[in-house]
Structure 1
Amino acid sequence: MTGFLTRRRFLVGGTLGAGVLALGGCDALEQNEDVDAVLRSAEKLTMEAQRLLLGQGTLAREFSPADISPTFRVNGTQSPDSEEYAALHENGFANWRLKVDGLVNRPMEFSLADLRKLPSRTQITRHDCVEGWSAIGQWTGTPLGLILQAAEMKTEARFVVFHCADELEKTLDGSGVYYESIDLVDAFHPQTILAYAMNGEDLTVGHGAPLRLRVERQLGYKHAKYVMHIEIVDSFSGLWGGRGGFWEDRGYQWYAGI
């Protein structure tokens, strides 16, 4: 959830190196389907190489309380511009519910109180934004894996989609509504949590109240804020641009591993 940057800024080479970066200079070919296919293939190889080198369960670095940044910039939306969100905020999110559905055997809803009753995880990690800044913060929330296990995903489930309250563009087809997604490897990673607290306090609106995703091995735009609805899917084909996220539909990489 951050300002738009061109595709070339995201072609991080990994083991693919200069061969991938060479494609990034071809802005005139941005809309070419063959080029897009090559870029998506390169991204997939980068993801697989990174996971092979690091291991699927390797933890992102965690820090001590003394390392927490004195200021932590708000990334992306400052506050969702919707009457529904305004009403929920005014009531202290007492009426807010997290919906979980899609390819599950047990569709579920959770209030904030429900989530706080579940086992929690607290972690102090660094947030890396594609705009070039970083900050260290403490996050507390419910491990996403617990929610997915409770909902009993179906065997064809492949991705977890996070539908959010904010709209970054007003469009007739609904594609301005913010959404993000991760695969099941990242969904069940021990540091992937649905955070409701930051630095020991309830999330502020700027930082995603009442609930945001923390997926610590990926860049900041993957950390969806204002999460309202989790949908389990087998593909992105029915989701707006079909790339798995608001910014991905506009040229960002789907896998933003660090």
Structure 2
Amino acid sequence: MSRIIIDRRRFLTGAGVVASTIPLVGCDALDGMLSNGATVRETMAKANDLTYRVQRFLIGADSLAKEFSESEIRQGQRPNGSTDPTGATYVALRDAAFTDYRLEIGGLVDRPLSLSLDELRNMPSRTQITRQDCVEGWSCIAKWTGVPLAAVLDEARVKPEARYVVFRCFDTMNLGLSREAAYYESIDMLDARHPQTILAYGLNGGPLPIANGAPLRLRVERQLGYKMAKYLRSIELASDLAAYGQGKGGLWEDLGYDWYAGI
């Protein structure tokens, strides 16, 4: 399995190098290569689907990510992505110590929910010491505490036709030319109900820091770090992903990353 992780990281790092050269290519040529129906886009989509199916087969539905002992935590959890959202709604929640925070759960559910941090903390919890692997090439071991996502989904009574869980976030990404996009991410129901998939509100025995996603972030331990959305605003259950962003399942995916980032 370690060989699979290394090979995948090398592949994604290479993909990142290729992606970094995209702005040097003429826009018209790039639009043609990546437009809907183009051979390059269709080939990339098929490769991503193959990666998903092969890794699902190799990993299995119930396998657990490796967990570690407390003695193996040798540093604070390294932040990735956004570290301090500046949107007015988030800033107001932050300044009030998140006392007014509510996590909205909707979409294909029979019982939409609006949960405060206290309500989430009073649900059954799980603590796990796991390693985050980042597409940038670094790893970090930390202890996470939160409510299993499966418990929240059970409270919401997910409809049978739901296939994906979509996470909307408070942070945004600068796309250049004064353009920003709100961060979002998604996983399938298999990962959503995995025992190590939690909505984390605690890190290394204390509250979740702002730089690491406070007040609430996703931990989906069998995937790379960019799938673990921070600063959660809402959760939506959906039968497909076409209505979100460019329909690829996440902001990074809209920019060319794989939707399934299993390790």
Answer yes or no: same fold by TM over 0.5: yes
> Do structure 1's residue 252 and structure 2's residue 254 form an aligned pair?
no
Equivalent of 1:31 in 21, 28, 34: 34
> Do structure 1's residue 150 and structure 2's residue 152 form an aligned pair?
no
**Please, which runs of 5 or more residues in structure 1 have no aligned partner?**
1-7, 13-19
Using the TM superposition, give the Cα deviation of residue 72 of structure 1 relative to its aligned residue in structure 2, in angstroms: 2.5
> Do structure 1's residue 192 and structure 2's residue 197 form an aligned pair?
yes
Describe the SS at the equivalent of 2:34: coil
> Do structure 1's residue 166 and structure 2's residue 171 form an aligned pair?
yes
Residue pair 1:102, 1:232 contacting (<8 A) in 2 also: yes
Superposed CA deviations along residues 186-205 of structure 1, whole A, max 9, x for unmatched, are: 00000000000000110110
C-alpha distance in 1, partners of 2:241/2:176?
19
Instruction: Report sequence identity in percent.
Output: 50
Structure 1 residues 147 and 175 mapped into 2: Cα distance closer, same or farther (>3 Å)? farther
C-alpha distance in 2, partners of 1:193/1:115?
11
C-alpha distance in 2, partners of 1:39/1:175?
25
Superposed CA deviations along residues 167-219 of structure 1, whole A, max 9, x for unmatched, are: 113799x9700000000010000000000000011011000000000000000
> Do structure 1's residue 183 and structure 2's residue 185 form an aligned pair?
no
> Do structure 1's residue 239 and structure 2's residue 236 form an aligned pair?
no
Equivalent of 2:68 in 53, 57, 63: 63
Q: Which residue of 2 aligns with 1:106?
A: 111
Superposed CA deviations along residues 142-184 of structure 1, whole A, max 9, x for unmatched, are: 0000111111111210100000000113799x97000000000
C-alpha distance in 1, partners of 2:96/2:113?
22
Q: Which residue of 2 aligns with 1:203?
A: 208
Superposed CA deviations along residues 72-101 of structure 1, whole A, max 9, x for unmatched, are: 221000111111111101111000000000
Instruction: Give the structure with the higher percent helix.
Output: 2
C-alpha distance in 2, partners of 1:137/1:41?
35
Describe the SS at the equivalent of 1:237: coil
RMSD after superposition:
2.4
Using the TM superposition, give the Cα deviation of residue 10 of structure 1 relative to its aligned residue in structure 2, in angstroms: 2.6
Partner amino acid, structure 1, of 2:60: G
Q: Which residue of 2 aligns with 1:17?
A: none
**Please, which runs of 5 or more residues in structure 2 have no aligned partner?**
1-9
C-alpha distance in 2, partners of 1:152/1:11?
39
C-alpha distance in 2, partners of 1:171/1:232?
30
Structure 1 residues 247 and 48 mapped into 2: Cα distance closer, same or farther (>3 Å)? same
Return structure 1 stretches of 4+ with deviation > 4 angstroms: 26-30
Equivalent of 1:49 in 36, 39, 54: 54
Describe the SS at the equivalent of 1:123: strand
Query: For structure 1, which segment, 36-45 or 134-143, has the greater mean C-alpha deviation from structure 2 after superposition?
Result: 36-45
Partner amino acid, structure 2, of 1:31: L
Q: Which residue of 2 aligns with 1:140?
A: 145
C-alpha distance in 1, partners of 2:176/2:162?
29
C-alpha distance in 2, partners of 1:205/1:71?
13
Residue pair 1:175, 1:240 contacting (<8 A) in 2 also: no
Structure 1 residues 141 and 157 mapped into 2: Cα distance closer, same or farther (>3 Å)? same
Count of matched residue positions in the alignment of Structure 1 and Structure 2: 240
Partner amino acid, structure 1, of 2:164: F
